[in-house]
């Protein structure tokens, strides 16, 4: 399949799920999808298009939490980024991709602890990087993160 076919197929198959389709350049496509249909679109890209899962990245944009899933279709050198916008509520939830691809396991755990997104269906959603004594509701990559440790030294003493 070439680039045009993939773009057309994605647009046809997921007409209702796509919120925004941004054709940035020859090698990059950004697709914004509804949070509830993300799993469906990602499965199609991973299984049918045989794309490789690169990584997911979470961003706190003050208004909402954005998660981007990056996939590469290697044969035609195309990077597809799926974007989901999750409103900032008390508990932010999205479906986990780990049951489909094992590669998403760690990155979902990372986003869970650094941004506080709950991945439903993740088999082992525990902390990956942060220590056990880290307070429960403090997420370091959130905009409103404040240093909680009173004992921390932040000057060089000169």
What does the binding site for other proteins look like in residue numbers (CB under 8 A)?
25, 27-28, 30, 52-55, 57, 59, 68, 70, 72, 74-75, 77, 79, 81, 101-103, 105-107, 127-131, 133-134, 140-141, 145, 147, 149, 151-157
CB 32 to other proteins: min, Å: 12
CB 129 to other proteins: min, Å: 4
CB 12 to other proteins: min, Å: 26
Output 15 or 102, the one with its CB closest to other proteins: 102
First to last CA, the chain: 62
Say how far apart CA 14 and CA 4 lie, in whole Å: 16
Say how far apart CA 17 and CA 130 lie, in whole Å: 35
Output 8 or 47, the one with its CB closest to other proteins: 47
CB 127 to other proteins: min, Å: 8
CB 66 within 8 A of CB 59: yes
The secondary structure of residue 45, as a DSSP letter, is I
Pairing of strands 28-33, 64-73: unpaired
């Amino acid at each position: 399949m070439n680039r045009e076919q993939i773009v057309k197929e994605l647009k046809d198959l997921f007409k209702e799920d796509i919120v925004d389709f941004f054709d940035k350049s020859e090698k990059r496509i950004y697709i914004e999808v509804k949070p509830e249909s993300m799993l469906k679109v990602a499965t199609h890209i991973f299984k049918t298009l045989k794309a490789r899962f690169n990584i997911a990245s979470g961003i706190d944009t003050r208004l909402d939490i954005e998660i981007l899933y990056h996939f590469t279709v290697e044969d035609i050198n195309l990077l597809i980024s799926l974007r989901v916008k999750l409103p900032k509520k008390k508990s932010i939830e999205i479906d986990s991709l780990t049951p489909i691809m094992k590669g998403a396991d760690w990155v979902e755990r990372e986003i869970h602890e650094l941004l506080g997104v709950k991945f439903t269906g993740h088999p082992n959603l525990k902390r990956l990087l942060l220590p056990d004594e880290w307070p429960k509701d403090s997420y370091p990559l959130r905009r409103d993160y404040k240093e909680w440790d009173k004992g921390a030294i932040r000057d060089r003493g000169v």
